Structure formats: structure tokens, C-alpha cells
Amino acid sequence: MANSKEKSYWPHMILGFLGIGIMLGYWTISSAIHMPVNESNAFQSKYQQADMHINEIIEAQQRFDAKYRITLLDIHPSDFQPNKFLKRKHGEILALQKKNHLRYKVETLSGEAVNDANVSFLLTRPHTVADDQKFDALKADQGIYRVDFDLEKAGRYTLRLRVQKGDAIGFVGYEAYLKP
């Protein structure tokens, strides 16, 4: 028979591991709560709304593409090269300055200027909404909608334009880069 005065540390170890597990669980949840979650703004709406109405968005884009065309004027390509190991494809990356003046031309497929469209512009950065600049109800001059904005931070930006004419909605987006 074993000596009853010998102490066993197994219950203490089990309670210690349980305490460590509870502390790590609390740390994981509290750090996840404090992490910022930024929503996609590809269609200038919350991603839940875009997800629920994606079929209507696609149909509105098709109606727009069947009647209208959006062209970015005064394109200045950037010499910025994205990480060569990224798997996603990049379009042309535009060069931005500290002070920017962008002009978008909206016209019918036959070349007539569209001056009465509801146009909004969103300047955003990938993975954050902290520096977003949104311009609503842009005015047209002979079908050309102008956006003026200033930038302070260098890095990648995304230029998103939304044009609504009746039940047709067109979206265009461009990647851009501001050198340090």
C-alpha cells in the first residue's frame, strides 16, 4: 500500500492547463474583437447588400454596357510593379500625385455625351476604409465628370466610379499608386 503522505501534482497540472486554455481562449476572442474588419466596396455598398443583390447588380451592369461607355481620360501609367509572387492579375496601374484631377467621360455607344447621370466616385485603399474619400452627385460638362482630390499617404489606391442612368448602373475600377 502506498504512503498516503505522498502528494500527487496531477490535479494541479490539470487545473493549470485548464487555466492556460481559458486564458488563451479569452485572449483570442478579445484580440479578434479589437481587430478592424473592413468591408468590400466594389459596388459602393456593403458586401452583404452586394451579395444579396448580385444578380440585379449584374443585370444593371449589362443594361449599362449595352447603352453606355465610361472612359478615364488623361491616363498616366505608373512604373510601380506589384509583388511578382502574387497570383492575381493586375490591370494597368495608374500614377497618382499629391493633387489629382481625374476626368471620366460618360457617353452612349454612338458617342453622344451623357450629362444627366447620377455619378459617384470612391477613392479607397486596399484593406482599409480609414482614408476613403467619396464624392457624390458629380456634375458633368459635355459628358465629362471631373473629380479633384488631394492625397497625403503614399501607397496603393483604388479608384471606383459608379454611374447610374435610369435602371442601368455601370461600375469601373482602376488600381493606382502614389510614390513616396
Question: In sequence order, which residues have a C-beta less than 8 Å from that of residue 42 and are 6 or more positions away?
Answer: 50, 160, 171, 173
Higher pLDDT, 91 or 13: 13
Q: Is the pLDDT of residue 102 over 70?
A: yes
At residue 3 the predicted structure's pLDDT band, cuts being 50, 70 and 90, is low
Mean pLDDT of 66-85: 84
At residue 118 the predicted structure's pLDDT band, cuts being 50, 70 and 90, is very high
Q: Is the pLDDT of residue 30 over 70?
A: yes
What secondary structure letter does DSSP report for 52?
Answer: H
Rg (the chain; Cα; Å): 26
**114 phi and psi, to 5 degrees?**
-110, 110
Order across the sheet with 68-73: list the strands: 68-73, 99-108, 144-150, 140-141
One-letter amino acid for residue 2 of the chain? A
pLDDT score of 76 = 82
- d(CA 147, CA 73) in angstroms, rounded, equals 12
At residue 37 the predicted structure's pLDDT band, cuts being 50, 70 and 90, is low
Q: Is the pLDDT of residue 127 over 80?
A: no
pLDDT score of 38 = 59
- d(CA 64, CA 106) in angstroms, rounded, equals 11
Q: Is the pLDDT of residue 16 over 60?
A: yes
C-alpha dist (Å) from residue 26 to 15, 16, 23, 30, 118:
16, 15, 5, 6, 48
Mean pLDDT of 51-77: 91
pLDDT score of 60 = 94
- d(CA 180, CA 178) in angstroms, rounded, equals 7
pLDDT score of 180 = 85
Tell me, yes or no, if the pTM score tops 0.75.
no
Q: Is 159 helix (H, G, I), strand (E, B) or coil?
A: strand
Query: 86-90 long-range contacts, Cβ below 8 Å, gap at least 24?
Result: 90/175
- d(CA 13, CA 123) in angstroms, rounded, equals 55
**27 phi and psi, to 5 degrees?**
-65, -40
Higher pLDDT, 32 or 45: 32
Q: Is the pLDDT of residue 51 over 90?
A: no
